[in-house]
Amino acid sequence: MKLIQLAAAALITLSSLTAQAAYLQVAGGVNTAVPSNNYYLGNLAPQSYNIGGNLQSSINGTLSLRFDYLGHEAGWTNTFESNSSTITNVLPPSPFIGYFDTYTVGELIQFTFSTNGSPVPNFVANGNNNMGDHWVSFATALNTSFDGTAYDAILFFDDTGGYMDDDNHDDLVIGVRVLSATVTQVPESSTIVLMLMGLAGLFAARRMKA
What pLDDT tens digit does each residue of the chain (210 aa) get?
444 444 444 443 343 333 334 899 999 999 999 999 999 999 999 899 999 999 999 999 999 999 999 999 988 999 999 988 999 988 655 678 888 899 999 999 999 999 998 888 899 999 999 987 778 999 999 999 999 999 999 999 999 865 456 678 999 999 999 999 999 955 554 455 555 666 665 555 555 555
Q: Determine how many CB atoms are found less than 10 A away from the CB of residue 173.
A: 27
- Residue 196 phi/psi, 5-degree rounding, is -65, -40
62 within a domain of the structure (yes/no): yes
Encoded amino acid at 139, one letter:
A
Q: What is the pTM of this model?
A: 0.78
Q: How many domains does the chain have?
A: 1
Domain of 121 in residue numbering reads as 26-183
164 within a domain of the structure (yes/no): yes
Q: How far apart are CA 176 and CA 35, in angstroms?
A: 21
Q: What angle, 0 to 180 degrees and rounded to 10, lies between the N-to-C axes of helices 189-209 and 2-20?
A: 160
Encoded amino acid at 41, one letter:
L
Name the percent of the chain in helix, strand, coil, to the closest 5: 20, 40, 40
121 within a domain of the structure (yes/no): yes
57 within a domain of the structure (yes/no): yes
6 within a domain of the structure (yes/no): no
204 within a domain of the structure (yes/no): no
129 within a domain of the structure (yes/no): yes
138 within a domain of the structure (yes/no): yes
